């Protein structure tokens, strides 16, 4: 067995690649050098060059996947620190989250349907804007394809993280609350990370709230919305 077929080595390589990519991104500030995007590209190149099947990598990756759910819970820390401020805006926040959740699900379903996607693909895209562990659970519940959902969620997060704040500035949205809440709602954990990097705990708290509320609402509403849309 080659060195790179060892699960511990693969986990260490994954962390090393990500830490290096994050360091490069912070030094350059270039949006296209997104740490997650670069890590994916580099790790795929390593697996192909070393002839390692994805199944072997997944054995080690399962340990990383296990910590995804606790990592989402950890995002509640900045949320707790800004709790008193959030309470004052709770009603408009819930209304905005409900609108964002419904719009996110309905828009992707209608677009995918218009482009001729199959039923399984359409329902696999419905949970595109929530963090991976929640999205996979939702997709399994409605009968979709979890690996497809996971891939789409990552792509949505990377795109949202790279472009979200720029798009909002171009459209005249400058409020830390509105922009951060939108990032968490549309780009889940990746968007929340970008929000924290851009504005610290203040931005991170609103983004964490957006991520959390959208996750709960999407889990509750996805089956009903899909049913109304004929799926």
Instruction: For residues 104 and 7, state if they share a domain.
Output: no
How many domains does one find in the chain? 2
Q: Are residues 118 and 215 in the same domain?
A: yes
Structural domain including 31 reads 1-66
Residue/partner pairs of 102-105 with CB below 8 Å, 24 or more apart: 102/221, 102/225, 104/128, 104/129, 104/185, 104/186, 104/214, 104/218, 105/218, 105/221, 105/222, 105/225, 105/226
Asked whether residue 57 falls in the same domain as residue 80, the answer is no
Give the pLDDT confidence of 10-50 residue by residue, as tens digits. 788 888 998 998 889 888 877 778 888 888 899 889 888 88
Whether the full predicted model's pTM is greater than 0.75, yes or no, is yes
Q: Residue 213 is encoded by which pair of tokens? A: 């509320």
- Radius of gyration from C-alpha coordinates of the chain: 18
| End position of a domain, from candidates 66, 91, 122 | 66
Whether 175 and 144 map to the same domain: the answer is yes
Query: Domain boundary at 51, 66, 81, which?
Result: 66
Nearest to 207 by CA among 159, 155, 161: 161
| Residue 58 tokens, joined | 């997944």
Segment 107-137, tens digit of pLDDT? 999 999 999 999 999 999 998 988 888 888 8
* Domain boundary, last residue among 47, 66, 85: 66
């Amino acid at each position: 067995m080659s060195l790179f077929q060892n699960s511990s080595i693969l986990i260490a390589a994954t962390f090393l690649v990500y830490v290096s990519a994050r360091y490069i991104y912070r030094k350059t500030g270039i949006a296209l050098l997104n740490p997650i995007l670069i890590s994916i590209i580099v790790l795929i190149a390593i697996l192909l060059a070393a002839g390692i099947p994805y199944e072997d990598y997944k054995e080690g990756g399962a340990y990383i996947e296990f910590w995804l759910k606790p990592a989402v819970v950890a995002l509640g820390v900045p949320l707790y620190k800004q709790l008193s401020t959030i309470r004052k805006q709770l009603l408009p926040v819930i209304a905005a989250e409900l609108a964002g959740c419904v719009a996110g699900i309905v828009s992707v379903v209608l677009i995918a349907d218009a482009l001729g996607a199959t039923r399984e693909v359409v329902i696999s895209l419905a949970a595109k804007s929530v963090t991976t562990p929640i999205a996979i659970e939702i997709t399994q519940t409605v009968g979709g394809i979890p690996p497809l959902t996971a891939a789409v969620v990552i792509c949505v997060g990377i795109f949202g993280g790279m472009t979200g704040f720029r798009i909002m500035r171009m459209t005249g949205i400058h409020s830390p609350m509105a922009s951060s809440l939108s990032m968490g709602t549309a780009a889940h954990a990746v968007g929340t990370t970008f929000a924290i990097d851009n504005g610290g705990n203040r931005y991170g708290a609103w983004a964490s709230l957006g991520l959390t509320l959208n996750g709960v609402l999407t889990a509750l509403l996805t089956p009903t919305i899909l049913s109304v849309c004929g799926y």
